[in-house]
Amino acid sequence: MTKLEQLYEGKAKKVFKTDDENLYIVDYKDDATAFNGEKKGTIAGKGVINNIMSNHMFQLLEKQGVPTHFVEQLSERETVVKKVSIVPLEVIIRNISAGSFAKRYGVNEGIVFDQPTIEFSYKNDDLGDPLINDYHAMALKLATAEEIETIKKMAFKVNEVMKAYFDTLNVTLVDFKLEFGKTDDGTIILADEISPDTCRLWDKDTGEKLDKDRFRRDLGNVEEAYQEILRRLTGK
């Protein structure tokens, strides 16, 4: 596997071509942003932790029948993934009210829902990732009705697997964001990352936040929270 030219540098990762036209290499950075890039910083060691955690979660999900882009971890920060065309939707599942949900609907954080919710944002930095519904996504030709159905089913399945798994680690899975992609033959698979950058994770006993909200809200001990999640996942 040879790493070829960089295709893209995002806020948290770089994406490289490889000598296999169906595979990319993602390289996780320590850079952190919040509020559509208004707040910037670095979280020392985050790239390494997010790489290991994402790969850990993707392998767990594969075992439970969810197809993902994961192929092989190359180094601390680099992973080989299947090349996909990303469906430009941020798919957010929530089990408990927090963040933009609490703000938008004027409710406290921490309300446990009777059933999980799903919402979509249009992945478009210039527009600030606006909230959209299925019909808007279809009107904008971001995905077909069938693809949206597949994505919803997969997202709820991911939630069931992750919720049960985090429970065994004494962690409450509050909410998270997923991205899906299409392979050349049109199959929808789970892509991007699953990490403390993209999930809200609360300690089950104390409610302590073990995720990017520590950075967003200047709560301190940001690095320690990421390390604590990794420790619970891998014992390291």
Instruction: Tell me which residues touch ligand ADP (CB under 6 A).
Output: 8, 10-13, 15, 24, 69, 81-84, 86, 179, 181, 191-192
Q: How far is the CB of 110 from ligand ADP (least distance, A)?
A: 27
Interacting residues with ligand UDP between 63 and 92 (CB under 6 A): 90, 92
Residue 3 binding target from ligand UDP, ligand ADP, none, CB below 5 to 8 Å by type: none
Give the separation between CA 189 and CA 68, rounded to whole angstroms. 5
If one counts every other C-beta atom within 10 angstroms of the C-beta of residue 164, the result is 11
Let me know the angle formed at the C-alpha of 21 by 89 and 25, rounded to the nearest 5 degrees.
Answer: 65
Q: How far is the CB of 235 from ligand UDP (least distance, A)?
A: 24
Residue 13 binding target from ligand ADP, ligand UDP, none, CB below 5 to 8 Å by type: ligand ADP
Q: Judged by CB under 6 A, which of 198, 209, 214, 233 binds ligand UDP?
A: 198
Output the 3-class SS for 57-110.
Answer: HHHHHHHCCCCECEEEECCCCEEEEECCEECCEEEEEEEECCHHHHHHHCCCCC
Burial of 67 (0-12, 13-18, 19+ CB in 10 A): middle
Nearest residue to 173 (alpha-carbon basis) of 93, 119, 59, 61: 93
Smaller CB distance to ligand UDP: residue 18 or 210?
210
Residue 51 binding target from ligand ADP, ligand UDP, none, CB below 5 to 8 Å by type: none
Give the separation between CA 169 and CA 158, rounded to whole angstroms. 17
Stretch that binds ligand UDP, among 9-17, 81-89, 134-142, 169-177 (CB under 6 A): 169-177
Residue 24 binding target from ligand ADP, ligand UDP, none, CB below 5 to 8 Å by type: ligand ADP
Chain residues that interact with ligand UDP, rule: CB under 6 A? 90, 92, 98-101, 129, 175-177, 197-200, 212
